[in-house]
Amino acid sequence: MAKNKFNAAWVHRHVTDPYVRQAQQRGYRSRAAFKLLEIDEKDRLIRPGMAVVDLGAAPGSWSQVVRERLAKKGAQGIHGKIVALDLLPMDPIADVSFIEGDFREAEVEKQLSDLLEGQKLDLVLSDMAPNMSGVSSADTARVMHVCELALDFAQQHLKPHGALLVKTFQGSGYSQLVEAFKKVFEKVSSRKPAASRAESSELFLLGRDLKHQSSK
């Protein structure tokens, strides 16, 4: 009974969520698009000509936003390059290259390298989140691990003045993650967009400009 009540509450919140409705109206694959849109409005992360990688991209709403930002005015195609990666399959998006697999694996790394043609990245996005168990200590460790993977990826692939935006959660382990970002980036800030539900501990951590000793 309690489970059914919970499901009914989730469905009600979902169908009455203004961001869900807007996403449907604008053709975005999820309401997460509005989180990136709001952060980009504030921080001007996405600009024409950029090379961008979207980690944990499925179902693809962040890649859709990047594509809009890089679209050529009055013409087809984009000015820049977008590569989306995920362990899960993703329906195609025009002008977005998709790699299905684990970005830590050599085969995936080779596919990415071929697509980028040796080019370093301007921006790495990560909306990745692990499957949550409900056990706080285990979930914290999983979240930290996913963020650290994105941080390591960014160190390897970003240009000196590149940026990394990751989804994380406030709570145990968050301060350590901020410190890890500060060792890698000159500027570190957190963002809580309006589209991120108020009751959620979800936050987005933004790092900009690699520190010299950390660039590879």
Active-site residues, by number, are 167
Q: Where are the alpha helices (DSSP H) in the chain?
A: 2-16, 18-26, 33-43, 61-70, 106-116, 136-157, 174-184
- Residues 77 and 94: their CA atoms lie apart, in Å, by 8
Name 135's Cβ contacts closer than 8 Å, sequence gap at least 6: none
| Token pair listed for 80 | 């820049």
What is the phi/psi pair of residue 168, to 5°?
-145, -170
Residue 30: strand, helix, or coil? coil
- The dihedral over CA atoms of 34, 84, 160, 106, expressed in degrees to the nearest 10, equals 150
User: Kind and range of the H or E element at 121?
Assistant: strand 121-126
| Token pair listed for 174 | 């968050």
- The dihedral over CA atoms of 84, 209, 154, 100, expressed in degrees to the nearest 10, equals 0
One-letter amino acid at 149 equals L
